[in-house]
Amino acid sequence: MPYDLIIRNGTVIDGTGKPGFVADIGVKGGQISGIGRIVDKGKAEIDAGGLIVCPGFVDIHTHYDAQICWDPILGSSAEHGVTTVVLGNCGIGIAPSRPEDREINALDLVSLEGLSIDVLNAGIPWKWESFSDYIDFASAQKPSINLSLLVPLATLRRYVMGKAATERAATEEETKKIATLLRDAMRAGANGFSTTTLLRQKGWQGQPLACALASTEELRAYARVLKEIGSGVIQANCAYNLGSISDDEYALLDMLMAESGRPVTWSGAVSRSDQPEALDAYLRKIEPLVARGGKPQGTSRPLTVEVNLKNPFVMNDIEAGKKVLGQTEEVQKSFYADPAFRRQVREEYAKGGKLFSTAWIDVQVLRVGSQKMEKYLRRTVREIAAERGADPMDTFFDLALEDDLRLRYLGAVANVDEERTSKQINDDRILLGMSDGGAHVDMLLESNYTTYMLGHWVREKNAMSLERAIHRMTAEPAKLFGITDRGLLAPGMAADITVFDKHTVGSAMKATHIKHDLPAGGGRLYVESHGIAYVIVNGGLLYDHGQALDARSGKVLHRVH
């Protein structure tokens, strides 16, 4: 049999969790056609001797909805061996969108994803209105990796309700219209829907997200659409406190699973420094949901955040922080300098239970804009305050003001304790992912979790076997999201393949620098991948030893009918 591509002599770890074995892999027509000793020749051949050959990684939590408009490669993920991403998480996105709603849909991304309005205005062509149109647009972009699309509930509600979507729950008639739009999107190929129920997650100028005001009856109606169709996934951002779950949040997830009959996945299975025992109790509490097919999402990395007071996202769960969201820099400076504002922040954090409650005092000065501030680099707020003989909270805001809000802090808000994180990544109750690729590009970088997992946890810490780690990042997420032809290396499966050197694979724990490769010169945090030799998508070679090729072999993955 003539093959389009043969990968020879590699150690095949097929995604099942079974031990690796040396074999050749033959690819024809974008699928795996043979595994074993292949004597035939291929039109192209790769010698993978001494390398690991595994399924392409499946990242189930990204926000590349806008980025696919200008970046078909999605290198923030693909460079790290990811061949399939799920878009449209957390209820926000850019489709469906009426012409009159385009600006506010984009501005929500400014608030939540750290993308400037200049980037979005230059990068989004708005060639769609319905979600079906958006699917067609994404396909026409000829992406380099595979896209599985969730329908964001915020844009669905805004499409039907207009401005009222950020003010109230939908009426019965509006709910029916929204459910009809969801049904149409599912029939066009969407793989479910997503929502955020957290009122602390704010859109432009501190407005509630259009999905956060959906009533329980609304959500029940939308879940029933998936039961009617018989496929799809629901993703919910519903954990007010990361690493814990309230009775109301549990009841919501229970309802979504019961009414949809489909898998439900949600964010936040991480350990917090201020509540070190909370995650164990959380996982015990959700075991009945996990037994029915639900899975919380976690990450293999310390959750480190670059804190930028021009976009104070980490403060959006306190009342003081909500005052500065979406404001001009001058207005923000006036708040930050105000003793009453500082007092309110101090008092709210002193109560505990917030994302930044304990982390703020030990953040390091990571980047500065002026030379006079360089003496503070890599030093913590606690240390600088002691040197100045000043209050730490005052120091936190004073340093930012002294650098005209250009200063950036780096702080770890979760997964700081490596012993606890090691247990988490081995826990079957947690779905690994939650990379947020494409979101928070000015403050957060988790899209390298795959190479970090292989380098840090497998090779350096020996926290799990290589076979187990690959299974956790391939077959497990693919199965939950109904991506049945990927995540495994077997005849008949799609030829999504990552080849790497187990001795060198890895990536840094934090972003190494800012890349200014977004439209209009916009910047994003970046970390380089090491040890990834080849990335192959549907049989097309996308990366060759870190060099991106012009392969456009990705697909929009329509839901399984």
Each residue's pLDDT tens digit, 159-211? 999 999 999 999 999 999 999 999 999 999 999 999 998 766 667 666 888 99
Predicted local confidence at residue 560, as pLDDT: 58
Each residue's pLDDT tens digit, 385-407? 999 999 999 999 999 999 999 99
User: By three-state DSSP, how is residue 556 classified?
Assistant: strand
Predicted local confidence at residue 201, as pLDDT: 65
DSSP string for 44-67: EEEE-TTSEEEEPEEE--B--TTG
Q: Which two tokens stand for residue 120?
A: 């979005």
State phi, psi for 444 to the nearest 5 degrees: -140, 135
Predicted local confidence at residue 509, as pLDDT: 82
CATH number of 57-302+427-463: 3.20.20.140
Neighbours of 410 (CB within 10 A): 18
Task: Tell me what the mean pLDDT of segment 522-551 comes to.
Answer: 95
Q: What dihedral do alpha carbons 60, 63, 65, 66 form, nearest 10°? A: -150
Predicted local confidence at residue 318, as pLDDT: 85
Cα–Cα distance measured from residue 438 to residue 63, given in angstroms and rounded to the nearest whole number: 5
pTM: 0.89
Pairing of strands 408-414, 364-367: antiparallel
pLDDT exceeds cutoff 80 at 63: yes
| H/E segment holding residue 35 | strand 31-36
| Cβ–Cβ < 8 Å for 194, 240 | no
State which amino acid sits at residue 305.
Answer: V
Each residue's pLDDT tens digit, 301-344? 887 777 889 888 778 778 888 889 878 999 999 999 999 999 99
| Cβ–Cβ < 8 Å for 117, 525 | no
Confidence of residue 248 (pLDDT cuts 50, 70, 90): very high
Cα–Cα distance measured from residue 45 to residue 179, given in angstroms and rounded to the nearest whole number: 49
Domain segments of the chain: what residues?
Answer: 57-302+427-463, 306-413
